């Protein structure tokens, strides 16, 4: 059986099937390089010339294609051997069987063989430098989603454990939680002391400063907490031990993530940090897939639900996704977060492509781009606007805004309708005006008396006319009606009507009075 092992390299191993059948547990045969050489032997080894060639081969495998180099090797070795080919990927085996008509095998035993070959790679492939071997073992694609999700899960578990520990021990010594704010130090103090009665004789100088230690001992003497049993103290101490162990494991895992990210994507790590970079790579699937995304996609990567919800409801689309947790975006004021996240996404895409396709493993480009972003952030925070023309070094001068409030007072001149005079009136003019007003008032009184007398005369006349009409009606009953000739005028029954119209116009100051009287007589 021939084994195809491709992991940033191209090599074939010949498997000794007779010895494999005699082996009960396969992993024991790969404990040492000597035992591994008895099971498998190197048949053909071919190293890629550069990263671009390895990337092209890897891309072809991802798309279900076979490159020319692999075709030549398979036709030359496998067809001559006339043996089945063991492949780690079932899809790759299907493609090889379809295009080259070779029988391929994929089973759990093949996966165990691949693990054993990977563990003893140094002994099975001679003549390769340790630095190149480390680069081959890293590979082009990384699985960092496990590390990111594991760190998030550990943080959640730690928060739950610490909250329960503080709540539980708070019944016995509630003052300690206010004095010691650090969770890990709190658990270490509990693990070392236990019951609050032991704080008086305990030495906490290794964990706490002298002032805090004295404050803890003073609070333990006058504590208002309740007494607890020894069994409760043992359970609390066991919970504290778990918290300390998980915290140490979390620190160790984070250091491993830092080293891993600096080896795979150093420029991305400098730009957005280890954890955010690992989440971006995990969300895209690999560093190669992430390099294919545009800057606008990387900016909102992780906020797909919010994006489609905004497009459906026709609202504003989100400005950031996973990149929001980067340190540059976090230290920006809210009004500049969208602008900084857009610029950071553009520079991060350059760093991703440099790490994925570049041969240099230094982080100089990431440091330079981060310095530019920090300078841009300072200019935004200082509200400085660069001049478009000129040297561009001087800041545009803007005048400071000063609010000028005008206090308006009430103008009483609009209350009166009399004409206002700027000069003071003399005493003689005032006396003359008073005399004129008195004369007008007297005339008005006289006219009122005349009007009253005229009204009384009208009433008397009306009464007289009504009496005469009654007498005439009585006489008409006894007189026979006789036709009148056209020539003779009727003088006895004729009624004369007189109409008088009186108009009185007089002026009182600025007001003009008009009185109209109607007088009639029959």
Which residue ranges form the domains of the chain, and what is each CATH number? Answer: 2-143 (3.30.420.220), 147-252 (1.10.287.4070), 264-382 (1.10.246.90)
Q: How many CB atoms lie within 10 A of CB 209?
A: 10
| Gap between the terminal Cα atoms of the chain | 150
Q: How confident is the model at residue 482 (pLDDT cuts 50, 70, 90)?
A: very low
User: What string of DSSP letters covers 31-87?
Assistant: SSHHHHHHHEEEEEEE--SSHHHHHHHHHHHHTT---HHHHHHHHHHHHHHT--EE-
Are 347 and 295 in contact by the 8 Å Cβ rule? The answer is no
From 183, 181, 251, select the one nearest 191 (Cα to Cα): 183
Give the largest Cα separation in the chain, rounded. 170
Between CA 180 and CA 192 the distance in angstroms is: 15
Distances 165 to 73, 169, 190 between C-alpha atoms, Å: 62, 6, 10
Sign of CA dihedral 466, 472, 476, 477: positive
* Token pair belonging to 372: 């530019």
Tell me the per-residue pLDDT of 52-90, one tens digit each, with 9 for 90 and over.
Answer: 666 667 666 666 677 777 777 777 766 666 677 777 777
Residues contacting residue 234 through CB under 8 Å, at least 6 positions apart: none
Q: How confident is the model at residue 428 (pLDDT cuts 50, 70, 90)?
A: low
Tell me the per-residue pLDDT of 292-311, one tens digit each, with 9 for 90 and over.
Answer: 999 999 999 989 899 999 99
pLDDT winner (highest mean) among 17-31, 233-247, 276-290: 233-247
Between CA 201 and CA 193 the distance in angstroms is: 9
Average confidence (pLDDT) over 190-196: 89
For residues 32, 36, 38, 42, the Cα torsion angle rounded to the nearest 10 degrees is -140
Q: How confident is the model at residue 497 (pLDDT cuts 50, 70, 90)?
A: very low
For residues 303, 304, 307, 311, the Cα torsion angle rounded to the nearest 10 degrees is -170
Tell me the per-residue pLDDT of 374-414, one tens digit each, with 9 for 90 and over.
Answer: 999 998 888 644 444 455 445 555 566 666 666 677 777 77
Position 512 scores a pLDDT of 57
Position 444 scores a pLDDT of 78
Are 350 and 268 in contact by the 8 Å Cβ rule? The answer is no
Q: What is the pTM of this model?
A: 0.50
The angle, 0 to 180 degrees and rounded to 10, between the axes of the packed helices 183-193 and 230-264 is: 140
What's the whole-number average pLDDT of the chain? 76
Between CA 120 and CA 132 the distance in angstroms is: 15
Least confident of 162-176, 346-360, 403-417, 465-479: 465-479
Q: How confident is the model at residue 137 (pLDDT cuts 50, 70, 90)?
A: low
Helices (H) and strands (E) in the chain, counts: 22, 7
């Amino acid at each position: 059986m021939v084994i195809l092992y491709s992991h940033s390299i191209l090599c074939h191993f010949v498997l000794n099937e007779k010895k494999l059948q005699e082996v009960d547990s396969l992993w024991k045969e790969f404990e040492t390089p000597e035992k591994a050489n008895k099971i498998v032997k190197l048949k053909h080894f071919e190293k890629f010339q550069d990263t671009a060639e390895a990337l092209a081969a890897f891309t072809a495998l991802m798309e279900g294609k076979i490159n020319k180099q692999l075709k030549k090797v398979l036709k030359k070795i496998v067809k001559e051997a006339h043996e089945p080919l063991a492949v780690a990927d079932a899809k790759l085996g299907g493609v090889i069987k379809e295009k080259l008509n070779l029988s391929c095998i994929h089973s759990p035993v093949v996966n165990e063989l691949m693990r054993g070959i990977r563990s003893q790679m140094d002994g099975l492939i001679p003549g390769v430098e340790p630095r190149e071997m480390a680069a081959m073992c890293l590979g082009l694609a990384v699985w960092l989603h496990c590390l990111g999700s594991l760190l998030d899960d550990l943080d959640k578990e730690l928060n739950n454990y610490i909250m329960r520990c503080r709540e539980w021990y708070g019944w016995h010594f509630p003052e300690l939680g206010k004095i010691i704010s650090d969770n890990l130090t709190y658990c270490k103090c509990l693990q070392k002391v236990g019951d609050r009665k032991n704080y008086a004789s305990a030495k906490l100088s290794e964990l706490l400063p002298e002032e805090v230690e004295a404050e803890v001992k003073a609070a333990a003497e006058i504590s208002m907490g309740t007494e607890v049993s020894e069994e409760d103290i043992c359970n609390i101490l066991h919970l504290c031990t778990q918290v300390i162990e998980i915290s140490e494991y979390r620190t160790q895992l984070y250091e491993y993530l830092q080293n891993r990210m600096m080896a795979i994507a150093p420029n991305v790590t400098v730009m957005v940090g280890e954890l955010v970079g690992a989440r971006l790579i995990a969300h895209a699937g690999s560093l190669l897939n992430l390099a294919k995304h545009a800057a606008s996609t990387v900016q909102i990567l992780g906020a797909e639900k919010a994006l489609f919800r905004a497009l459906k409801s026709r609202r504003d689309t989100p400005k950031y996704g996973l990149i929001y947790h980067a340190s540059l975006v976090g230290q920006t004021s809210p009004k500049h977060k969208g602008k900084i996240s857009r610029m950071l996404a553009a520079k991060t895409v350059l760093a991703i492509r440099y790490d994925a396709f570049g041969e240099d493993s230094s982080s100089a480009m990431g440091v330079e781009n981060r310095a530019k972003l920090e300078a841009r952030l300072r200019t935004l925070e200082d509200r400085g606007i660069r001049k478009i023309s000129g040297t561009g070094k001087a800041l545009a001068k803007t005048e400071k805004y000063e609010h000028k409030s005008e206090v308006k007072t009430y103008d009483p001149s609009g209350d009166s309708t009399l004409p206002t005079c700027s000069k003071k009136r003399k005493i003689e003019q005032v006396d003359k005006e008073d005399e004129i007003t008195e004369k007008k008032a007297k005339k008005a009184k006289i006219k009122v008396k005349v009007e009253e007398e005229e009204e009384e005369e009208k009433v008397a006349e009306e009464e007289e006319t009504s009496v005469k009409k009654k007498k005439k009606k009585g006489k008409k009953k006894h007189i026979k009606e006789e036709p009148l000739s056209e020539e003779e005028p009727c003088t006895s029954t004729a009624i004369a009507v007189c109409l008088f119209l009186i108009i009185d116009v007089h002026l009182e100051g600025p007001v003009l009075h008009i009185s109209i009287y109607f007088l009639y007589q029959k």
